[in-house]
């Protein structure tokens, strides 16, 4: 720790302990990556935890969670540049169920497009997606439960499999690493995952991404779920009408595939730089198209229009996709359903590949 640095008002003895740990660990990190302050923050937190004379159970939870995330980061790291879709669904779905075949087919189509598939590595829909994608294009994040069998045969004993004790660390990795999500009918766990995904997308805690709720032709699971939202949630004003834009219900595999691939037809990624939202795209709209977008989406612009920009200084410092064209806008950070509509419009400006 450098003299004069403020690390959150920690006790001097705690600061000294964190500093000693930093002196041992921080020199191992390359300085140009800018990760040293972040690791120092972790060491400060550990020192602060130690200073509280924590209960053994608290330490066990914190230690296990950090260890699980560290192992998961190691497993996923070689595949960070590969687009991934996470599949959720019931572990009880049998191989002869039409839902199993739907998941298997969509995963196979994604693998053909050089995507990878991520699942909880268990049976049912998880096994279906991994069977469809194949072992080489599958990543698994398994949960250890006393009443469920271990990893399915399509990922068992594979180095791309992570075993976890806690649902919250498992869910973090299933969501954090993926560029798209597919949810098929399931029980409490599947519904929990679907609603958490929607919550993260609705609040901007997850980056915008396609969320497909996939059924079979003639299936009523997601349509019944949508009726519940309409009649019990939206009608009472508990969600914004545009929040329905955050997901797509379909029973058609080609439609699901187009929803996922089409989301990245022009849109690439985004980040906030101060109060500016920077949207990276592959092709910039024309001045006339930008003016029209600014008019149509004026309700989510705090001030000013949507305009093109060069990479901003923090982006250049991080080398954050500086080769891509980008737009900037002062987004209200509230209406993420409308932001999804804006991304869809940016994608429609680029013709679909034949």
CATH architecture of 78-262: 3-Layer(aba) Sandwich (3.40)
Close Cβ partners of 117 (under 8 Å, ≥ 6 residues apart)? 84, 85, 86, 87, 107, 110, 111, 129, 130, 132, 133, 137, 138, 139
CA-based nearest residue to 158, from 178, 142, 175, 180: 142
Reported as a pLDDT band with limits 50, 70 and 90, residue 53 is: confident
pLDDT digits (tens, 9 = 90+) for 111-161: 999 999 999 999 999 999 999 999 999 999 998 776 656 799 999 999 999
Name the one residue in this structure whose structure tokens are 């869910």: 171
Separation CA 318–CA 14 (nearest Å): 31
At residue 6, does pLDDT exceed 50? no
What is the model's pLDDT at position 45? 87
Query: The whole model's pTM is what?
Result: 0.90
Question: What does the domain layout of the chain look like in residue ranges?
Answer: 7-53, 78-262, 267-348
pLDDT digits (tens, 9 = 90+) for 242-294: 999 999 999 999 999 999 999 999 999 999 999 999 999 999 999 999 999 99
Burial 41-62 (b: 16+ CB within 10 A, else e): eebbbbbbeeeeeeeeeeeeee
Separation CA 90–CA 148 (nearest Å): 12
Extract the tokens encoding 122: 């268990």
Separation CA 162–CA 173 (nearest Å): 10
Separation CA 282–CA 260 (nearest Å): 17
| Distance between first and last Cα of the chain | 56
């Amino acid at each position: 720790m450098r003299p004069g640095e403020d690390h959150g008002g920690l006790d001097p003895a705690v600061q000294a302990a964190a500093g000693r740990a930093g002196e041992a660990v921080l020199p191992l990190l390359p300085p140009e990556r800018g990760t040293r302050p972040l690791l120092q923050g972790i060491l400060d937190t550990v020192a602060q935890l130690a200073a509280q004379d924590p209960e053994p159970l608290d330490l066990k939870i914190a230690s296990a969670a950090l260890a699980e995330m560290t192992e998961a980061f190691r497993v996923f790291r070689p595949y960070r540049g590969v687009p991934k879709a996470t599949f959720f669904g019931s572990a009880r779905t049998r191989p002869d169920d039409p839902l199993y075949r739907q998941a298997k087919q969509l995963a196979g189509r994604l693998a053909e497009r050089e995507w990878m598939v991520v699942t909880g590595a268990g049976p049912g829909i998880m096994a279906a997606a991994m069977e469809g994608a194949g072992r080489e294009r599958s990543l698994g994040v398994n949960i250890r439960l006393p009443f469920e069998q271990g990893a399915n045969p399509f990922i068992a004993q594979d180095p791309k499999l992570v075993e976890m004790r806690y649902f919250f660390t498992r869910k973090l990795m299933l969501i954090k690493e993926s560029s798209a999500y597919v949810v098929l009918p399931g029980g409490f766990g599947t519904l929990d995952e679907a609603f958490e995904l929607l919550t993260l997308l609705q609040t901007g805690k997850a980056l915008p991404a396609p969320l497909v709720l996939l059924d079979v032709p003639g299936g009523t699971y997601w349509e019944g779920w949508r009726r519940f939202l309409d009649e019990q949630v939206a009608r009472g004003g508990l969600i914004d009408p545009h929040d329905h834009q955050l997901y797509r219900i379909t029973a058609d595999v080609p439609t699901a595939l187009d929803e996922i691939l089409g989301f990245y037809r022009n849109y690439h990624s985004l980040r906030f730089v101060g109060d500016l939202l920077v949207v990276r795209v592959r092709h910039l709209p024309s001045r006339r198209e930008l003016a029209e977008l600014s008019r149509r989406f004026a309700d989510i612009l705090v001030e000013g229009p949507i305009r093109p920009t060069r990479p901003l200084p923090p982006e250049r410092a991080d080398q954050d996709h500086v080769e891509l064209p980008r737009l900037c806008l002062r987004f209200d950070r509230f209406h993420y359903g409308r932001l999804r509509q804006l991304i869809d419009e940016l994608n429609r400006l680029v013709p679909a590949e034949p």
